[in-house]
C-alpha cells in the first residue's frame, strides 16, 4: 500500500514511486476505462439486425419492391435511338435499374454491384448512395457490364435504418433478355 505525501507547490508523490509513474499509471487506467466504455457502446451497434432476401424474377418480393430491371445487349439498347449501329452482338450488356422509393424501398440508401466468382470477390462497387433527406424519390441507374461477368453479378439494394437493415440481392444473370429475332 502506498501513502500520499504532500510536497511543495501542491504536488503529490507516492512514497517509493516517481511522479512520472503516477501520471503514466493514471493515463493507463483512464485509457482502459475509455476503451471499455467504447467497446460496450459499439457492441449494441454490432448487434443490429440484418435481414437478407434473395429476389427471384417474377417472385412475390419482386412485385412488392416494384422496380424495373432490364439487362440487354449494349448495341440493342443503342439501336432504339440510332439505326446505324453495327450489326451483331457487343461484348457488354446494358443494365438499367429504375425504382421509386415507396413501399419496401422507401428507406433505400444504397445500391451496389458485387461480382463474385469461384475464386472469391472480384469487385464490389457502389452505384448509388441516397440520403434520407433527399426529396427525389426516383432511383435510376444505368451501367455496362462485360457479358462474361453477368452470371456472377449481384445487385444489392440496402434499405432501412442503422439498427435494422434489410438487403435485397438480385442476380443479374437471371434478368438477361433473350435476343429478339
The residue ranking higher by pLDDT, 168 or 12, is: 168
Contact indicator for 167, 53 with CB cutoff of 8 Å: yes
Who has greater pLDDT, 85 or 47? Answer: 85
pTM score: 0.64
Residue 44 pLDDT greater than 60, yes or no: no
Q: List, in order, residues 6 or more apart from 113 with CB less than 8 Å away.
A: 123, 124, 125, 127, 143, 145, 153, 154, 155, 156
Q: What's the pLDDT tens digit per position in 106-146?
A: 888 888 888 888 888 788 888 887 766 665 678 888 888 98
Amino acid at each position: 500500500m502506498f501513502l500520499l505525501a504532500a510536497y511543495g507547490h501542491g504536488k503529490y508523490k507516492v512514497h517509493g514511486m516517481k511522479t512520472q509513474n503516477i501520471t503514466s499509471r493514471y493515463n493507463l487506467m483512464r485509457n482502459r476505462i475509455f476503451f471499455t466504455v467504447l467497446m460496450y457502446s459499439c457492441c449494441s451497434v454490432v448487434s443490429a439486425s440484418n435481414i437478407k432476401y434473395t429476389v427471384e424474377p417474377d417472385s412475390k418480393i419482386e412485385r412488392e419492391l416494384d422496380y424495373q430491371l432490364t439487362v440487354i445487349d449494349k448495341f440493342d439498347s443503342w439501336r432504339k435511338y440510332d439505326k446505324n449501329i453495327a450489326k451483331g452482338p457487343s461484348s457488354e450488356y446494358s443494365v438499367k435499374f429504375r425504382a421509386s422509393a415507396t413501399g419496401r424501398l422507401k428507406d433505400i440508401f444504397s445500391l451496389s454491384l458485387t461480382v463474385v466468382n469461384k475464386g472469391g470477390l472480384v469487385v464490389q462497387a457502389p452505384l448509388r448512395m441516397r440520403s434520407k433527406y433527399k426529396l427525389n424519390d426516383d432511383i435510376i441507374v444505368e451501367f455496362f457490364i462485360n457479358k462474361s461477368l453477368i452470371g456472377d453479378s449481384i445487385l444489392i439494394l440496402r434499405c432501412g435504418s442503422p439498427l435494422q437493415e434489410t438487403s435485397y440481392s438480385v442476380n443479374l444473370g437471371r434478368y438477361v433478355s433473350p435476343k429478339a429475332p
